Amino acid sequence: MTLRARLAEQRILVAPGVYDGLTAAIAEQAGFEALYLSGAAVAYTRLGRPDIGLTSVSEMADTMALVRDRVGLPVIIDADTGFGNALNAQRTMRTYERAGANALQIEDQTFPKRCGHLSDKTLIPTGEMVGKIAAMADARASQETLIIARTDAVAVEGLDRALERAEAYVAAGADVLFIEALRSDAEMRTAADRFRGRIPLLANMVEGGATPITGAADLEALGFSIVIFPGGIVRALARTAGDYYESLHAHGSNRPFADRMYDFDGLNAQLGTAEMLARGKAYEDPGAS
């Protein structure tokens, strides 16, 4: 099923954040229907840096290609600001499509951008963002590749202006609307009431961020069609990694941590090593069962 067809259903789509082939495979095995390739998560893990616009379009495209090689699920990819003007946004669309992305999320911050839940964001004019959306629509190879238009205006200009920007982005041809960093249940309800039934709405759940953490069922009841949890996996793994390294440093051994990690065989089972080796052996001897 295509992402567009899935969004036509009434059920909310939960898309967990991933940042590489391993997290994508684990999320797929857990039963999710789509994934969110988070620019923040790539910055955190590949660069060891905060989400302040340091990741490049090529780093994201490379990561997308590796994820696509590992899983078949629809992937929503963070396209930041399109990495420049409307022509850059077109190039980003073509590059990400070739890498296997099913939807691109583009935002109306200036470049370099920063995490939507950090302060002191700045915005491009509404007309410039409208042009980027139209340019991306013209450049996509498939109409099944969705454009998710994000506005960060709530924190900069207030909710009313954010809703005005959102209206312009819908008119420009966005397929999904993402109003970032809504600050209360009331703001979430106001946004959902305005656009529900007109265009799929995306909610962003950032642990410790500006938006109240809300479960998928409650978001569906409000009228949201997609909910992403972009950086949760990194926060979980970073906490676990800190505990692991502290334990190893203190004990000089992994024995005290053994019940919190895979052993060699356990990880290989998770990765499907035996199945891959058998597949490779079959190609060496086509007559083998």
Residue pair 129/97 in contact (Cβ under 8 Å)? The answer is no
Buried b / exposed e across 11-38, counting CB within 10 Å, b at 16+? ebbbbbbbbbbebbbbbbeeebebbbbb
Q: Which of 79, 69, 75, 72 is nearest to 35 (CA)?
A: 75
pLDDT confidence tier of residue 118, bands split at 50, 70 and 90: low
Query: What percent of the chain is modeled with pLDDT above 90?
Result: 91
Q: What is the pLDDT of residue 112?
A: 79
- Token pair for 281: 């052996």
For 101, phi then psi, to 5°, come to -70, 150
- Token pair for 35: 């994934």
> Any bridge partners for residue 37, and if so which?
18, 77
Q: What is the pLDDT of residue 111?
A: 82
Q: What is the 3-state secondary structure (H, E, C) of 47-105?
A: HCCCCCCCCCHHHHHHHHHHHHHHCCCCEEEECCCCCCCHHHHHHHHHHHHHHCCCEEE
Chain segment 228-270, per-residue pLDDT in tens: 999 999 999 999 999 999 999 999 999 999 999 999 999 999 9
C-alpha separations of 184 from 38, 135, 159, 227, 272 in Å:
23, 33, 11, 16, 43
As a whole number, mean pLDDT of residues 284-289 equals: 67
pTM, entire model: 0.95
Chain segment 17-30, per-residue pLDDT in tens: 999 999 999 999 99
**What sign does the CA torsion over 178, 183, 186, 190 have?**
negative
Q: What domains does the chain contain, in order, with CATH numbers?
A: 3-231 (3.20.20.60), 238-284 (no CATH)
